A and B are shown apart, each in its own frame.
Chain A
């Protein structure tokens, strides 16, 4: 398949391909594994106004409406509205509990969920982040990573 000259040239390319990448770029990837094995139920992104409206309309509106995201797991739906400087969340079904805001650095804030399932998060966390919902009477649910 390759003669000696070709193989040597290929080896050179392959090693150079690796050397152009800064070492800390690899480290970012290795660090992500710290999030492996968290046992919470995962709520997947099921609706994103930006993605889903674009798909329907084919073009983007000049002024973006408020962005809305929905995450769904077997037991819980988490709705999020993205405001200018805060997120407004809603749990369905409603239930009291607390929301941990996680970034790759760890939990950066914890906010209470009120009696009708609402929770404001301010300021908007740095991306990517995710929300872990600890409800009083159900399993904990964690959203997928969110980048705004």
Chain B
């Protein structure tokens, strides 16, 4: 996902003053920031501090990112660095020893790369889902709801015959698979291999 055109477009628009593009960036990557803070086991208030610093830095750097498509990686690495800084500051006060710093080094963590890939995939799936027509989103939401919803209930709620749910499900999933967000992702994965 080195050159997702959607990410480049969002960065360019946000740099040029489009608040909606910025909101979309936040929408896509706040879960990544959240997940990384969870991995470092930060408290909620430390997590908020890290996020606030991260987004302010990003606003400042919007015009200077050399490779806008590398944004998710930048967000992940910067978040991890901020998490470490918070942990180091705390350990200085309560004198607890950290595990060795190299284990916490964001640049040497293979976890970061995996987290970025997962976050990009999830963001692409959510964007693809948002592009689906209402009836598909309703059906798929019911099919993945937890606890599960019976076909009879789906049939009653959405006014589809029970026998029509299977074919409808297949059509909606196919639309999801062929949506621009996800097909761009699949293509770039193929290109990487």
Contact = CB atoms under 8 A, between A and B. Distances in A.
Nearest to B92: A64
Contacts of A4: 169-170, 173
A52 to B, nearest CB: 14
Given A20-B34, A32-B59, A33-B22, 9 more contacts: A21-B30, A21-B31, A26-B26, A28-B51, A32-B52, A32-B55, A32-B58, A145-B60, A147-B49
Residue from the set A20, A29, A37, A127 with the largest chain B CB neighbour count within 10 Å: A29
B51 A7 contact: no
A11 B136 CA distance: 13
Nearest to A1: B186
A144 B53 CA distance: 10
Interface string B119-159: 00111011001000000000010011010000000000000
- Name the interface size band of chain A: 35 or more
Interface of B, helix, strand, loop or mixed by DSSP: helix
B17 interface: yes
Interface residues of B, number: 45
A27 B114 CA distance: 26
Interface string A6-27: 0110111111011011000110
Given A4-B169, A33-B22, A26 B30 contact: yes
B105 interface: no
B92 A128 contact: no
Nearest to A9: B144
